[in-house]
Structure 1
Amino acid sequence: MTTEPRTFPPRPLRDVKATYVRQGGCPSFFAQVVVDFEPWEQGVEFEVADTRGVPGWPAERVSELHEAFGSSVREELADLNPGTTVAVAVVLRSIKVREVDSKSLAFRHAGRLAVRNALVEAYGPPPCPRRSRT
C-alpha cells in the first residue's frame, strides 16, 4: 500500500473544536478550544487571535495554557506520517476554562485532539484495520 505525498492542511479548516475533560476524581481536567488551521509556509506558525484573556485569570496563567496548547499541536504535527508536509498557521480562536480544572496538561491534550479532529475533517477518518480470517 502506497501513500501519496500530501500537505497539511489541504485547505483552510476553520472552527475546529476540541474538548478534553477528565473528571474521574481528583485531579480533574478541563480544556475547550476553537482553532483554525490555515495553509501557510512550510512548518508550523502558531498565534492567538483572542488577546482579551480570561476574565478573572492572570495573563501569565492564560499564557501558560496557550503555550501548552501550542507545543502539543507542534508535537502532534511532527508525528504525522512520513510523506506529509506540514505547512500550517494554527490560530487559536478561543478557549474555555474552569477555575479549578483547567491546567496546562488539559490544554496539552486539547492540542493533540485539535490536530486529530482537523485531520479527520481534512482527510476523513483513518481506515479501520481489517481482521484476517484464517
Structure 2
Amino acid sequence: MTAEPRTFPPRPLSAVKAVYARQAGCPSSFALTVADFEPWEEGVQFETADACTVPGWPDAEVAELHAAFGSGVREELEELAKLNPGTTVAVAVVLRSIKVHEVDSHPRAFRQAGRQAVRNALSEAYGPPSKPWPRLP
C-alpha cells in the first residue's frame, strides 16, 4: 500500500521547539532552538532571524551554530524524502532563537537539534509517527 502524495509542510508551523541535550559525561551537548516551518517553493530555504544572537558570543561562532542547525534540517528532510518517496519538501525554515550553554554547546549539538526540529514539525503537521523515530546519536 502506498502513501498518499503530500507536501511538507502542509501549513505554516510556528515556534517549533527542539532540544538536544546529552549529559553522558564529558563532552556533553546542549542546544535549544525555536524555528518556523513555512510552505515555500520546492526544496529547502533556510535563514536566521536578525534577533537570533547570543550575547557575549562572537558572531562567527553563532553563525557556525546556525549553519549546523541548517545542515541538520537538510539532512533530516533528505531522509524524509528517501523514506517517503511521495513526499515533496517545499519549505522555508526560519531559525527564530537559540539558547546555548557556555561549555556544552557546539555545532554537532545544533546539527542534531536541526534534525529534532524537523521531527517535531512532522509530528505537529501529521501526528506522531506510526513507529518510534530512530534515536539521534
Aligned residue number for residue 75 of structure 2: 75
| Offset at residue 78 of structure 1 (A) | 1.1
Match of 2:117 among 92, 114, 121: 114
Question: Which 5+ residue runs of structure 1 have no aligned equivalent?
Answer: 130-134
TM-score using structure 2 length:
0.91
Aligned residue number for residue 135 of structure 2: none
Identity %: 74
Aligned residue number for residue 3 of structure 1: 3
Moved over 4 A (4+): none
Larger radius of gyration: 1
CA distance in 1 between counterparts of 2:105 and 2:114 reads 14
Give secondary structure in 2 for the equivalent of 1:109. helix
> What is the total number of aligned residue pairs between the two structures?
129
Q: Is the 8 A contact 2:52 2:97 kept in 1?
A: no
Match of 1:87 among 85, 90, 97: 90
Moved more, 102-111 or 43-52: 43-52
Moved more, 25-34 or 49-58: 49-58
TM-score using structure 1 length:
0.93
Match of 2:107 among 93, 104, 108: 104
Question: Which 5+ residue runs of structure 2 have no aligned equivalent?
Answer: 133-137
CA RMSD of aligned residues (A): 1.2
Q: Quick check: 1:40 aligned with 2:43?
A: no
